[in-house]
Structure 1
Amino acid sequence: MRIDIDNWNPITVSEVNEVFSKIPINWCIAGGWALDIHMGEETREHKDIDVIIFREDQQVLYKYLYGAWDLYKAENGKLEAWIQGEYLCSKHDIWVSKDANSSWAFQIMLVDTENDEWIYQREKSIRASIEEIIHESQDGIPYIKPEIQLLYKAGSSIIRNKDFQDFQTILPFLDAREKKWLRDAINKQFPCGHYWLNWL
């Protein structure tokens, strides 16, 4: 088990693409970097980098990363080695480093699907077809659509300053359809209201 949760030295978006483009699965950049890819510029400093894959692809992912990278299951502040052949039924986060003494290089988030639909884990009635949640940059790098990423940020139990900053930065660049989707999704997760709705 590792406890160095702040020991990050993330690889770049291009390096992530180099790693994952060789793996025959669906994947995309997530987090703040996904929003910056959408914007076409780096709008703030990023201390980590996130990649989404679908849960059913985890064993293919493991096969391609094992040996070149160390893989750890992350849950409730604990980081334990993800061992070969172990299927993760409920865990969502995998942290990756070159070896046990290296900084964290990137994080993988496992998301659930059903009948070719992405399922939002915090409110399972929120769904979209797999094709509808991913954009591709001019360089061919897949990233999660901004309204989906903003839902993840809005729906967290703790909304960090950088989450609200990201929301404010990208909001003027969302079109009417994207704003409506985000507004409807937030209302569904938070029927009693959410302060981000004041801007939507």
Structure 2
Amino acid sequence: MPGHPPLDRWVPLTPSAVAAVLDGWAAPWWIAGGYALELAVGRSWRAHADVDVLVLRPSAGELHDVLPGWQLWAADPPGALRPWPADEPLPGHVHDIWCRRPSSPAWELQFMVDDADGAVWTSRRDARVRAPVASIGQRSADGLPYLRPEIQLFYKAKRPRPKDETDAAVVLPLLDPAARAWLDDALALTLPDHPWRTALARPPTRS
């Protein structure tokens, strides 16, 4: 497999294009990242440089069959990419898979890999943060599966970039009480002094 494009060179699929590429795959998957938050709110407020999709480790190996002809690269921490062959089980320390078609000069799709213990999802950031797999996603009006906003914000909370702070400013006030409680509990467990907890203590606003 030839060398890969620079990490910042992206021509990302749209969420609807992701759904078309993954159509027919029986394993669970969810649009993640900033797109997931926009699907939850129902509107867009910023541009997106890439597109993320969450999958579960037990089904990650199927991606070679789901994306025939694509190049799949595993992100070995702390961030080196290497080709991921179809006959290699995805190592437990790898949580990112970068994908492109050979005809594309840039990256098109990134998979984030979380663990699962049977029907229980486990966060790749902290194994103490768990939930039923069936509860971590929602569907948009046009049927796109996406990661629940409180879970996506939990992932953005560890080292928030300016775009993450923008996302939080839009989405945190809109979370319903159950979502606010889940995120606050997750942050209390993992990042107890996180400033977003102050926003979570305020009453939600209407969307």
Give the structure-1-normalised TM-score.
0.93
Counterparts of 1:154 and 1:100 in 2: how far apart (Å)? 35
1:113 matched to 2:94: no
Distance 1:62 1:3 in 2: 20
Q: Partner of 2:55: helix, strand, or coil?
A: strand
Aligned-residue CA RMSD in angstroms? 1.4
Aligned to 1:177: 178
| 1:127 aligns to 2:130 (yes or no) | yes
1:39-188 to structure 2, matched below 5 A, reads 39-67=41-69, 69-75=70-76, 76-90=78-92, 91-99=94-102, 102-155=105-158, 158-188=159-189
Unaligned runs of 5+ in 2: 201-207
Report the secondary structure of 2:197's partner residue.
Answer: helix
Partner of residue 16, structure 2: 14
**Percent pairwise identity:** 38
1:104 aligned counterpart, secondary structure: coil
Query: Cα distance, 1:89 vs. partner?
Result: 2.5
Q: Could you tell me how far 1:143 is from its partner in structure 2?
A: 0.2
Q: Helix, strand or coil: the match of 1:185?
A: helix
Q: Deviations over 1:33-71 (max 9, x none)?
A: 00001111111100000001110001222112131x111
Structure 1 gap segments, 5+ residues each: none
Cα shift at 1:18: 0.3
Distance in 2 between residues matched to 1:77 and 1:60, nearest whole Å: 23
Counterpart Cα distance in 1 of 2:114 and 2:126: 13
Asked if 1:34 corresponds to 2:36, the answer is yes
Shift in CA distance, 37/141, structure 1 to aligned 2, threshold 3 Å: same
Q: Distance in 2 between matches of 1:98 and 1:139?
A: 26
Q: Which amino acid is the alignment partner of residue 190 of structure 1?
A: L
Distance 1:3 1:77, change over 3 A: farther
Could you tell me how far apart the structure 1 residues matched to 2:5 and 2:141 are?
38
**What SS class does the counterpart of residue 156 from structure 2 fall into?**
helix
Residue by residue, what CA displacement relative to the aligned partner does 1:96-120 show, whole Å, maximum 9, x if unpaired? 1111762100101111001311101
Deviates more, 1:17-26 or 1:30-39: 17-26
Instruction: Answer whether contact 2:5 2:105 (CA < 8 A) is retained.
Output: no
Q: Secondary structure of the residue that 1:110 maps to in structure 2? A: strand
Determine if contact 1:70/1:100 at 8 Å carries over to the other structure. Answer: no
What is the CA deviation profile of residues 73-93 of structure 1, one whole-angstrom value per residue up to 9, with x for unaligned ones?
123232211111111122010
The one-letter code of the counterpart of 1:25 is A
| 3-state SS, counterpart of residue 24 of structure 1 | coil
Deviation at residue 185 of structure 1 after TM alignment: 0.4
Q: Is the 8 A contact 1:23 1:61 kept in 2?
A: no
Confirm or deny: 8 A CA contact 2:5 2:106 kept in the other structure. no
